[in-house]
Amino acid sequence: MLYGRKCRTPVCWEEVGPRELAHKDVIKATNEKIDMIRAHLKAAQDRQKSYADKRRRPIEFQIGDRVMLKVSPWKGIIRFRKRGKLSPRFIGPFKIIDRLGKVAYRLELPEELSRIHNTFHVSHLRKCLADETAYVPLDNILVDNKLNYIAKPIAILDRKVKGLRNKEIDQVKVKWEHRKGSDTTWESEEEMRRLYL
């Protein structure tokens, strides 16, 4: 009702200084309406909290569980914000070897991920429900220190010049290496030279 501000009583509504109070009936009626508004707001907050609490469960894993690790896909091109839809969101599964506190877990990582710290927050983990044979291989996936998935360019297939209002941008059609097949996107030639040459 008041955008989070504290509600003033009718006594404080007038100018500062000597004044006469409003009639007792007006003050009483206004205070009753304020109490009713507060009761309705409290009931609405409690109702929304009960809805949220029904679906909210703390995520916990046991030592020995197998989990998938969340990674962010990133090609290194921030300017055009192109991301592959089918790039892997999770890699693994990995075995939990230790629990540190309430929300941190230590994983048993393979040699390919030895440069990454093996302790992760619970928000980066998902329980692996599939069998151990179905997993995302790490052979062709490059992951940096921030768990960003990096795709490498294979070849430049085509070139074009894109005209904007005040300038022209040289673009190249790049074929990217992926875990399954390949993907092509148009990227800025200047960005590609800066990042990969």
Provide the domain count of the chain. Answer: 2
Structural domain of 76? 66-196
pLDDT digits (tens, 9 = 90+) for 99-137: 999 899 999 998 888 888 899 999 889 988 776 655 566
Q: Is residue 29 part of a domain?
A: yes
Higher pLDDT, 19 or 96: 96
Q: Which residues of 155-183 are buried (b: 16+ CB within 10 A; e: fewer)?
A: eeeeeeeeeeeeeeeebbebebebbeeeb
Residues 119 and 45 in one domain: no
pLDDT digits (tens, 9 = 90+) for 161-177: 988 888 888 899 988 77
Q: Is residue 61 part of a domain?
A: no
The model's pTM is 0.42
Residues 73 and 49 in one domain: no
pLDDT digits (tens, 9 = 90+) for 47-105: 999 998 887 778 899 999 999 988 765 444 332 233 556 667 788 889 999 999 989 99
Residues 71 and 44 in one domain: no
Q: What's the pLDDT at 196?
A: 72
Q: Is residue 35 part of a domain?
A: yes
